[in-house]
Amino acid sequence: MKKVGMMVLGVFLLFGLAACSSDEKTSGSSEIELTVWNDWTEERPENTVYRDIIANFNKENKDIEVKIESIPHDQYETKLRTQAAGKQLPDMFRVWPGTRITPLVEGDALLSLNPIMDKWKDKIPEGILKDYAVDGEQYAIPANISETSLIFYNKELLAEAGYDTFPTTYEDWKKLIASLTDKDITPIALGNKAIWPLQSVYISMIADRITGSEYLADTLNGKQSFTDERFVKALTVIDELTKLNAFNEDLNTIDEAQARTMFISGNTAMHVAGSWAIGPILNDVEDADNIGLAPFPDFGGEGELGKMTGAAGGGIALNSSLSKEKQEAAFTFLEYFYNDELYQKLMKANIIVPVQVEMDDSVPGILKSANEFAQGGGIAPVYDASLTPELTDVINNGLQSITLGEKTPKELAEEMQKAYEKNK
């Protein structure tokens, strides 16, 4: 017995020594290690692009090692906030623009990138850079533009219901939905278990069409109110769609990816999602030419029809407490990362980017359409990028209640106004 124990111990020691010696090889020179947190867990082409570029960077820069730590998207921000509260943020981390970085900035968690901004100033339009700036300080560089409200449709199923082109008015859209349900085809695949899609993807765009783009900012400044009948009308659209049976029955128990799979498998006629769905859909769908892309129809409101809700994305922020040495290394990394190579590769990976990139014929149709939408009438705000976390929570849950018939649009609007006034 004793002998065996000694042998086991010996083996462990051996492995331990081996591990030590191999460690020494890589960390022998004074190498700076930077950890970057992100949500690149899904097997998506753009995630591969990000990873590849970091791998190249590590190869070309012998004295800097960038380590990737990926956390699933749904948990990522929670984890980031928790770590931020405990002052345990990593060196670099992916952040989202607008109000989602302001608390981090106010808590002095982020490092300003102003010293190195010359590289991007003329390349990326100011309107897009602005998304990642707070009070004139730039905190991250956008890698992409995401459009958040695109209607993907299955041309074949639409033709079955008697439509060759996608309806451009709300009334026609409802007619299309009615004729699809008549044919026993689920009109729209929706996965709202995580409760943000109805708000972020649907309401942002519908409300913009009805209220115009100024309304949201005005409301948050106290000049308008959520109980405004235009906003209530926007919420009512969700109520009407639910009552028309526009969504799959299990909308509140499946997540967004599951809904997308439903659409890809060809059982449902439409799926509403942001540009993040373009890649996966093109990858997995059998016949890419059968998929069409349309903007939201005209709801007869005050918004410009060319507008598309969206935001800059893919920014990586730096921890404010980096040492001088690490700071330099991180700047070098950002300059390497946000470069033409990244944008070109992203475009090839079906991502809309903030800089001008030439497009050849190999670019699929729906990506071209998506790009046109972005250039069309400009970017409109996305609700959860502008609302406070608390208001976001109220509207997310409220919209789910509307789909269950437990709350009326008017009640939700009042609840939002109350929550807003409480925290003013």
Residues forming the site for other proteins (CB under 8 A): 78, 81-82, 84-85, 103-104, 106-109, 193-195, 248-254, 389-390, 392-393, 397, 400-401, 403-404, 406-407
End-to-end CA distance of the chain: 72
What ranges in 198-253 are assigned the alpha helix state H? 204-211, 214-220, 229-243
Please list, in sequence order, all residues whose beta carbon lies within 8 angstroms of the beta carbon of residue 36, skipping any fewer than 6 positions away: 54, 66, 67, 68, 69, 90, 91, 92, 93, 94, 316
Please report, to the nearest 10 degrees, the dihedral formed by the alpha carbons of residues 181, 185, 187, 189 taken in order: 140
Strand partners, 230: none
Pairing of strands 92-95, 315-318: antiparallel
Nearer Cβ to other proteins (199/350): 199
Point out which residues pair with 186 in neighbouring strands: 268
Closest by CA to 230, choosing from 150, 303, 304, 167, is 303
**Residue 14 Cβ vs other proteins, minimum distance, rounded to whole Å:** 29
By beta-carbon proximity to other proteins, the closer residue of 213 and 403 is 403
Quote the least distance from Cβ 153 to other proteins, whole Å: 21
- Minimum gap (Å) between residue 30 Cβ and other proteins: 33
**Judged by CB, which is closer to other proteins: 133, or 198?**
198
**CB of 99 or CB of 339, closer to other proteins:** 99
Q: Work out how close the CB of 70 gets to other proteins at its nearest, in angstroms, rounded to a whole number.
A: 17
**Least distance (Å) from other proteins to the CB of residue 390?**
4
Minimum CB distance to other proteins smaller for 23 or for 390: 390
CB atoms within 10 A of CB 422: 8
Nearer to other proteins, 289 or 390 (CB): 390
**Rounded alpha-carbon distances, angstroms, from residue 160 to 173, 177, 178, 286:** 15, 12, 13, 18
Query: By C-alpha distance, which of 334, 387, 310 is closest to 128?
Result: 310
Taking the complex as a whole, the smallest distance from the CB of residue 404 to other proteins amounts, in Å, to 5
Residue 269 and residue 190: Cα distance in Å, rounded? 11
Nearer to other proteins, 19 or 404 (CB): 404
